Chains A and B, each alone.
Chain A
Amino acid sequence: MDIHGYIPPEARREYGVPNLSVQERVLALAMLNGNKHTTTSYREDDQNQRITNGLENQDWDTLVKTFSANTKDTLAIARYNLYGIMTDEELAKRRSRNSRLGRYLDAYASLQIKLDRSAYPPNDKEVKRGVPEYVMDGLSDMGQDEDTDPHNRRREKIRVNKQQIFDLGQRPHARNIFQPS
């Protein structure tokens, strides 16, 4: 499927697939195929617009299964694609590297959240014991207290909201106190 501009909402909602941006679809296809170079394998149309392949809606469930079975390696493929943009000399020459990297970084963050929600669906009835290897969006750290009733709890719960966490990085950055002097 060529990704070239606008995708109508009705097409995005097929098969229960969440709304995906152009950049999310490109990263998703890379993750599905294990391709480290999808973001930099673009071609150009006659108006010099870059065209990149992206995930088809019907492949979303397969990607979710892949992500669920091997979250770390699937995310790694997306990061290789980000690194490909960082080191793409052609993009650097055109001075479009940073803007492109920014768009794909946003897509990497939002796609991760969408995959988390599909692969690790919410279930407020099931309390688990132990330390999870992967912290997914929506995880509620209940500490040492398994009681879900706030009135009976000794300490607060902490809900992981990845969008909030990722958004923190977009603000004026913290004073870099650990920078080598």
Chain B
Amino acid sequence: MREIFSNLADNKIDPQSDHGKQYIVDQVAGFVYDKMPYDYDQKIAYRAQGRSMNLEDVMKDHMSVCRHHALFTQVILQSFGITSRLLKCTMRTPGTSDIPHAANLVRINSIWHLVDTTNPDRESTGKITPFVKPLMEREVNTGKNNYEWNITAKLFGAISPRTYRSRDNMYYRIMDNNKK
């Protein structure tokens, strides 16, 4: 967070401006992609056995999944004052069925965007760019409504459609971080 603030100050970017918000979203997406690689081996399911694992261990042993990515993104973006929501959803790509997924909904320039820090766009050159896609809805409330978004992604330069379907079947409680 300090690094992003320092960069904003050095480049004289107002963090409340749309340019500033876009900058912050790109920085956070870059951090998640670079430092929280996806746990394709599902190591965490075996290690955690239904319990919580602390973030230090998750990151050290590369056990992040989309839920970690979305929560991390949400905490940082809301700390910067960017209107952002967790998105619990399913995602489908050609040839696959719906799989449970987590991403974020972020409001920039008065437009809601779907931000998927787990699955960035990939150019034909291999360059990675953040997956930040505008949505048509002026208001989004996944607690009241169900949404289906068909969005075009880039996979090594080729067009790759994705379907995201919102869901609200998330459960949570509030724990005491002072207790170990």
A interface list, Cβ under 8 A from B: 72, 75-76, 79, 82-83, 86-87, 97-98, 101-102, 105-106, 108-109, 112, 117, 120-146, 148-166, 168-170, 173-179
Contact = CB atoms under 8 A, between A and B. Distances in A.
B45 interface: yes
Contacts of B45: 155-156
B38 to A, nearest CB: 15
B75 A83 contact: no
Given A105-B2, A124-B175, A135 B86 contact: yes
A74 to B, nearest CB: 11
A163 B48 CA distance: 21
Contact of B75 (A75, A165, A178): A165
Contact of A129 (B59, B85, B100, B171): B171
Given A143-B170, A144-B171, A145-B171, A163 B177 contact: yes
A139 B68 CA distance: 12
Contact of A134 (B31, B33, B78, B100): B78
A151 B100 CA distance: 21
Given A132-B172, A165-B76, A166-B79, 16 more contacts: A75-B79, A108-B79, A122-B176, A125-B173, A127-B171, A127-B173, A135-B86, A138-B174, A138-B175, A146-B171, A152-B50, A156-B44, A156-B48, A158-B53, A164-B54, A170-B2
A144 B75 contact: no
Closest 4 CB pairs of A and B: A153-B50, A156-B48, A150-B50, A122-B176
7 contacts: A75-B78, A79-B15, A112-B79, A129-B168, A139-B173, A143-B170, A157-B52
Given A128-B171, A139-B174, A177-B128, A157 B71 contact: no
A39 B72 CA distance: 28
Contacts of A129: 168-171
Contacts of A125: 173
A133 B170 CA distance: 12
Contacts, number: 193
Contact of A131 (B8, B76, B86): B86
A159 B85 CA distance: 17
Nearest to A102: B2
Contacts of A150: 49-51
Given A112-B79, A156-B52, A173-B3, A131 B168 contact: yes
Contact of A133 (B6, B59, B68, B85): B85
A17 to B, nearest CB: 16
A98 B5 CA distance: 10
Given A126-B173, A131-B86, A132-B86, A83 B54 contact: no
A124 B5 contact: no
A62 to B, nearest CB: 22
B163 interface: no
Interface in B26-46: 26-27, 29-31, 33-35, 44-45
